[in-house]
Amino acid sequence: MPQDLIIASSILAADFSRIGEEVLAVDEAGADWIHLDVMDGHFVPNLTFGPPLIKALRRHSQKPFDAHLMVSNPDALLADYAAAGADRITVHAEACPHLDRSLASIRELGCKAGVAVNPHSGVDDLVHVLDRLDLILVMTVNPGFGGQAFIASMNDKIARVKSLIGSRNIDIQVDGGITAATTAAVTAAGANVLVAGSAIFKGDDSSAYAANIAAIRSASAL
């Protein structure tokens, strides 16, 4: 089914000393979702934030909060992320030995459920959990850091996911190295939710964010 283009602004590239203002700024600049990169220093080398910060940010925007959990044991804190105000929770397939149960738990908490796959991971096994999924995130960089280069071979994986989901109402998200230059190819392959961090937060101040988001939107094939 045709999907609308959604821009999910990753606050990983924001000024963390003014994080509340930054969330409000990208909201007002036209971001559709606020993308929250949770890193545990274990599943990925980097470390960011958890439920307390998400809870504190909740009053700065009414846009959907899209939590991307790059953590080794997401099941332990799913309820905390939901209680903090996450509307959508995405776990990594590589971190979930009982993925079917993890996805069911996310929906039981009242959130939309997503699964992310690292660049080396296949997607064919996801056919067994499609009925539990609202979103599939094809990582277009190795997770852990912003500002990395887009891995072009992921376009084939996006197309593979598109064919797997058929007519189901499942969003296809891409994350990593998304800019106005890479948008055309990922959307042509089937992605409809674009995560962008450095491409949105670049510029001298927040007055640039709206133009940065508009540049990505206008490059879309959707």
Q: Which residues bind ligand DX5 (CB under 6 A)?
A: 10, 12-13, 35, 37, 68, 141, 143-144, 146-148, 175-178, 195-199
Helices 209-219 and 180-189, axial angle in degrees (round to 10) = 40
Which of 58, 217, 177, 192 is CA-nearest to residue 135? Answer: 192
Which of 34, 18, 17, 56 is CA-nearest to residue 213? Answer: 34
| Residue number, 135 or 163, with CB nearest to Zn ion | 135
CB of 177 to ligand DX5, least distance (A): 5
Residues 157-186 that bind Zn ion (CB under 5 A): 175
80 is catalytic: no
| Residue number, 190 or 197, with CB nearest to ligand DX5 | 197
Rounded to whole angstroms, the Cα distance separating 88 from 82 reads 8
Rounded to whole angstroms, the Cα distance separating 17 from 21 reads 9
Rounded to whole angstroms, the Cα distance separating 50 from 66 reads 13
| Residue number, 104 or 208, with CB nearest to ligand DX5 | 208
Rounded to whole angstroms, the Cα distance separating 164 from 102 reads 21
Q: Is residue 68 involved in binding Zn ion (CB under 5 A)? A: yes
| Residue number, 102 or 163, with CB nearest to Zn ion | 102
Q: Give the distance from CA 51 to its chain's centroid.
A: 16
Q: Is residue 92 involved in binding Zn ion (CB under 5 A)? A: no
CB of 36 to Zn ion, least distance (A): 8
CB of 145 to Zn ion, least distance (A): 10
Determine contact, residues 31/9, Cβ cutoff 8 Å. yes
Q: Is residue 37 involved in binding Zn ion (CB under 5 A)? A: yes
175 is catalytic: yes
Q: 51 touches which of Zn ion, ligand DX5, none (CB within 5 to 8 A by kind)?
A: none
Q: Which of 27, 32, 37, 171 is catalytic?
A: 37
86: left (phi over 0), alpha (psi -120 to 50) or beta: beta
Q: Which of 40, 134, 171, 175 is catalytic?
A: 175
Residues 136-155 that bind Zn ion (CB under 5 A): none
Kindly list the residues in this chain that would bind Zn ion in the complex (CB under 5 A).
37, 68, 175
Catalytic residue set: 37, 175
